Amino acid sequence: MITIPRPHLAGPATLVLMLATATTALAQRDLTDIPVPDPELERETFILPEGFEVNLFAADPAIAKPIQMNFDPQGRLWIVSSEIYPHIKPDEIANDKVLVLEDTDADGVSDRTTVFADGLLIPTAVAPGDGGVYVGASTELLHFSDTDGDGKADRRRVVLSGFGTEDTHHIVHTFRWGPEQRLYFSQSIYIHSHIETPWGVRRLNAGGIWQFQPRDLQLNVFARGLVNTWGTAFDDYGTTFATDGAGGEGINYMVPGAYYTTSYGAKRILPGLNPGSPKHCGLEVVAGRHLPDDWQGSLITNDFRGHRVCRFELTEHGSGFVSQEKQEVIKSDHVAFRPVDVKIGPDGAIYVADWYNPIIQHGEVDFRDPRRDHTHGRIWRITYRPNKPLERPNLVDAETSELVSQLASPENFTRQQAMRVLTERGTSVLGDVERWVRRLDNTAPNYHRHLLQALWLHQSLDVLNVELLDQLLNCSEPGARAAATRVLGDWSGRIDKPLARLEKRVSDEHARVRLEAIRALAKIPRPESAEIAMRALDTEMDEWLDYALWLTAVELQPVWQPALAKGEIDFGNNARHLAFALKSAGSTEAVPSLLALLTEGEVAAGDISDVLGVVGDFGRPEDLQTVLQYAIASTEHPQTSVAALETLLNVHQRRKIAPAGDLSALAPLLDSSPVPVRRLAARLAGAWKVESLWPQLRGLIEGENRLEIADAWAAAVSEYGGAEAADVLARAAQEPDLFGPAVIGLLKLRPRAAAKAVIDQFAVEGENPTAPSVDGSNIFRAFLQRQQGPQLLTEQLEGRKIHPDAAVVALRAIGSSGQAHAELANALRAAGGITGGPRELSAEEMATLVAEVQKAGDPHRGEQIYRRSDLSCLKCHSLGDAGGQVGPNMRSLGTTAQPDYIVHALLQPNKHVKEGYQTIVVLTDEGNVVSGIKTQQTDTELLLRDAEDRMLQIPLDQIDEQANGASLMPAGLADKLTRAELVDLVAFLWALGREPEFTVTNDVVARRWDVMEPSQQASFRLRRTSYATAATDDPSFTWSRTYSRVNGDLPLADLPEIGVRNRVAAGRRGVSFVRCELEVAAGGVGRLVFNDPSGLSGWLGELPLDMADSVEVELTEGTHRLTLAIDRSARQTPLRIELKAADGSPLVARFAGGK
């Protein structure tokens, strides 16, 4: 037995003072000051919420390097640990361990440690059960047991084998018993597993969550995807959640069978609940009397990079949830504090496994870096002072009747461990369970939850109880109905009339019950299952329901599609149902029926786009002819006509087919139609090369609104091809207002002439040349997207001089193309007189620059530089939940990246491309070059996110070549900075997440804004009406996107001013108009808290607000727009708005984020 001295407890007030005097930890690659591995010194850095305290439960030498932990019914803590990680050295003997920790005197400190098993190599999962312990070890799922009672395993059994081992971080890990006593565990993105089972081979390529039934060795995939799934948990009703140790979306709500980010071959994926959140590992649901009431149901996980134990509060929203991060459970600046797992123990306390290591991962530093810690590790215990720790329940030795009664315990720990013991005792316990159920008070709180425990126990023992199932399916508690519906899916092949039961649940008043019913129907391979599932469309839908219905339609396609073709089912001739099924599964069977409903006016306006989408995806030429006729007949409803024409253009681009019949029917649409209709008609005339329409198209540019149709006209003329079309475009390029569209069109027909025209356009002579009158952004981008475009520009630049601004624009286009184009870049620099570009610093130069950053770098000035529009940082990167999605989220960059790493990334962006952000360059069969970051690839198309944050869909059959490209971060970015500016920018980036002032907080703050752009039209409209017009969708206004600072402030200096005449005093004053959006998941009363209401007028929707420091608002579920007018003569301070729920209000809302 190993005894660890009891440490004293540190309270929150003490910790705040200690943290205030602590030195800031350096990032790991620059780390030279390795902290003293004293647990007490580490504990003194912890900041906890009011009322909480932390003590050391166990530490080295009793344990070392804990990876995962789980409690057993006796209250003992089982741990797998690895001192060998990250790899075994030659001739080294594998000796990693399974440890058992016991607190025999219930004083909150472990006083006995037993080595239950050793000789393992990097074990990553542990779960006590079935007379021993299950262990995840490399390719195998093992079971160890102690047959002689000496506390040490003497039997080792391989339960399953064949799991992949491509990456140490990603092998099978994090075991968790589910509520029905199946074992859930994960593997991650780089793993490919092929497992032989008695039920056949089970495969999972890349990440996902496995579900395993030890009783009969049934192994199934519960969910697919995520980068490094590292934590699964279930709430009281079995709703499933997961965290991702290498993702960035916080809590993930796991729909059974769903696909998540990085899923191999997925056509659709579900997002997480906290986009922009740091990476997390370990997961536990708070449930128990020891912790505060307002914490119940929240989720606890670990930000191991940021030295934090985090808490998220969930609120139901439709069939899913809204997740909001709250104050950390533990926050520290100790560089070696690495929380990796979290569990609630038998006493109700929170237990945290601390990997304890200043060096993490095996990608950023060498495997054998001497600073890696291989010997230390801690388990921390967090308690809530106002409530006493709970008494440990006696479960293992309890009589069965007493054990069954524990299924009604208020403690989730007790209920789950009682389930474990009862399951292991077998079916003999069911008599006591039946008697207990009969004695339950049906008016008592949690009555249906108690019944659910009994149902889960029957499921775990594989014994049907249809009466109990039906009771729960029809009970008043929606959580219990949803859980019972999931059980019904499992039992559907063994009970009578499962479809009749699920038909009721598909129309359930609660959205999550409907979702579970939709997914349960996928387990009944009958055509009627799909018909019943589609009835969910008649209820209110949301993103999770839509996804679940799509997935079920796809999975059931092999049975419903043939039945539809034979006329055995018809989806009730409901256009919406039919369209959804066909679009989901890629079926052509009912396109004629859909078109008949469409042309006869039987399709609701909101469903027209979906119906057209299906026809576009699967229709034949004769079907497309009907769409064309429908577009022509709908000109009195321009939106409908536009939708039909867009469908036809999309079909041409993706499928290369056109409508049957006379295509000159487009003629009327080219004449006097609204501009959007004329633009599309022109594009189609060119795409289809309708010869009879050539004269009409050629002269179209001479009519009204020529600038509004110029790009569509030029593209259409280019599509016609031939000498005459080229001559038309060449003449148009002589007109300044048509130069851009015309020369882009000419590029396809006479590429050399187009290249010469471009260089001629931007050529200059003499000193101080006039700035270019033409914006070259789209032009240069178009050349980079043609196979020979860069070479042609390079040839034309030889010996020429162009305006420096044009060269900068072109270099910027190269930087965002994902391709190096070194020859063109050098030619542009020479022709534009631009010096600089990617550069490599020597070790001495780097050391000098880093020293400057540490000594003189000002992160406040650096943030101003980061926000400069010419650097485009905010265009590609998010800070928290607001900003671009192209590049990595910068929220906690300073906690893992070092100044030298940041400098390298700025000076040589292609040297360190973050995993998952490598570009793909695609050459299509038409000679177009497309590049971006790969987000998905299905059996039919490649999905890329380009530098403009657009999603590009490229059919695989149109790809000629594909290769890895460069970083989308522009090379030569630092050329726009002075050395002092570079130092400040690096200081800012290094401060992110590391210094409190530059850490994104959990406050609900507006961070994404739309700003009104100044124009004569906007000024005139505001003068003729009132400021309140800014709160409407008046077309006179143009809005652009901006973002708050890290601290939530919106600087007024960044906002343009609109000239609006003062109605009271003579003269003019500047007013800025901004707006943001509130997304409300649960309605209620809230308060908009302003840092200063001076100079502000506001409107929620179009209703005026009485401005004050705190403005009370009633918010209903949905999206609400907040518009503010800022009188610049009355306000100089930045703008910051925080949303808070009023006391006792059920409000759950957040400001909209993203780009």
pLDDT band for 910, please (50, 70, 90 cuts).
low
Q: How confident is the model at residue 863, as a pLDDT?
A: 85
Q: How confident is the model at residue 942, as a pLDDT?
A: 83
Q: How confident is the model at residue 417, as a pLDDT?
A: 98
pLDDT top residue among 637 and 519: 519
- What's the whole-number average pLDDT of the chain? 88
Measured CA to CA, the distance from residue 415 to residue 429 in angstroms comes to: 15
Q: How confident is the model at residue 911, as a pLDDT?
A: 65
pLDDT band for 975, please (50, 70, 90 cuts).
low
Q: What is the DSSP letter of 664?
A: G
Find out whether 779 and 772 touch, Cβ atoms under 8 Å.
Answer: no
Find out whether 1059 and 1014 touch, Cβ atoms under 8 Å.
Answer: yes
Domain residue limits, the chain: 12-26+37-210+225-363+373-384, 712-828, 843-997, 1003-1151
Would the CA dihedral through 995, 1000, 1003, 1009 be positive or negative? positive
What confidence tens digit (pLDDT) does each residue in 784-818 have?
A: 999 899 999 999 999 999 988 888 888 878 877 77
Q: How confident is the model at residue 973, as a pLDDT?
A: 65
φ/ψ of residue 329, rounded to 5: -70, -45
Statement: residue 925 has pLDDT above 60: yes
Find out whether 1134 and 1094 touch, Cβ atoms under 8 Å.
Answer: no
Statement: residue 719 has pLDDT above 70: yes
Measured CA to CA, the distance from residue 52 to residue 43 in angstroms comes to: 13
What the block records as the tokens of 757 is 């025209």
What the block records as the tokens of 961 is 């070549």
Helix (H) or strand (E) holding 116, with range, is strand 112-120
What confidence tens digit (pLDDT) does each residue in 363-407 have?
A: 667 777 788 888 999 999 999 999 999 999 999 999 999 999 999
Statement: residue 27 has pLDDT above 50: no
Statement: residue 12 has pLDDT above 50: no
Q: How confident is the model at residue 366, as a pLDDT?
A: 73
Q: What is the mean pLDDT of residues 185-193?
A: 94
Of 15-19, 40-44, 839-843, where does the model show the most confidence? 40-44
Q: What is the mean pLDDT of residues 164-179?
A: 92
CA distances from 891 to 17, 540, 880, 882, 994 (A): 25, 35, 5, 10, 10
Statement: residue 596 has pLDDT above 80: yes
pLDDT band for 629, please (50, 70, 90 cuts).
very high
Helix (H) or strand (E) holding 1058, with range, is strand 1058-1061
For residue 322, the SS3 value is strand
Q: How confident is the model at residue 14, as a pLDDT?
A: 30
The packing angle between helices 706-720 and 739-749, to 10°, is: 10
What confidence tens digit (pLDDT) does each residue in 305-333 have?
A: 889 999 999 999 999 998 988 999 999 99
High-pLDDT (> 70) share of the chain, %: 92
pTM reported for the whole predicted model: 0.80
Statement: residue 999 has pLDDT above 90: no
Would the CA dihedral through 1001, 1002, 1003, 1006 be positive or negative? positive
Asked if 843-997 and 1003-1151 have one fold, the answer is no
Place of tokens 């409803």: 637
Place of tokens 């890349």: 206
Find out whether 107 and 70 touch, Cβ atoms under 8 Å.
Answer: no
Q: How confident is the model at residue 962, as a pLDDT?
A: 79
pLDDT band for 950, please (50, 70, 90 cuts).
confident
Q: What is the mean pLDDT of residues 415-431?
A: 97
Place of tokens 């471009």: 758
What confidence tens digit (pLDDT) does each residue in 928-949 have?
A: 777 777 777 777 788 777 766 6
CATH topology of domain 843-997: SH3 type barrels. (2.30.30)
What confidence tens digit (pLDDT) does each residue in 653-680 have?
A: 988 999 999 999 999 999 877 889 999 9
Measured CA to CA, the distance from residue 64 to residue 387 in angstroms comes to: 31
Least confident of 80-84, 198-202, 756-760, 981-985: 981-985
Least confident of 618-627, 719-728, 1055-1064: 1055-1064
pLDDT band for 750, please (50, 70, 90 cuts).
very high
pLDDT band for 1144, please (50, 70, 90 cuts).
confident
Q: What is the mean pLDDT of residues 924-930?
A: 77
Measured CA to CA, the distance from residue 345 to residue 389 in angstroms comes to: 10
Q: What is the mean pLDDT of residues 842-846?
A: 86
Statement: residue 26 has pLDDT above 70: no
Statement: residue 859 has pLDDT above 80: yes
pLDDT band for 29, please (50, 70, 90 cuts).
low
Statement: residue 602 has pLDDT above 60: yes
pLDDT band for 4, please (50, 70, 90 cuts).
very low
Find out whether 680 and 645 touch, Cβ atoms under 8 Å.
Answer: yes
pLDDT band for 1068, please (50, 70, 90 cuts).
very low
DSSP letters of 1070-1135? EEEEEEEEEEEEE-EEEEEEES--TTEEEEETTEEE--SSEEEEEE-SEEEEEEEEEETTT--S-B
High-pLDDT (> 90) share of the chain, %: 60
pLDDT top residue among 102 and 886: 102
CATH topology of domain 1003-1151: Jelly Rolls (2.60.120)
Q: How confident is the model at residue 666, as a pLDDT?
A: 93
Q: What is the mean pLDDT of residues 245-249?
A: 86
What confidence tens digit (pLDDT) does each residue in 1096-1132 have?
A: 999 999 999 999 999 999 999 999 999 999 998 888 8
Name the class of domain 12-26+37-210+225-363+373-384: mainly beta
DSSP letters of 204-231? EESSEEEEEETTTTEEEEEEE--SSEEE
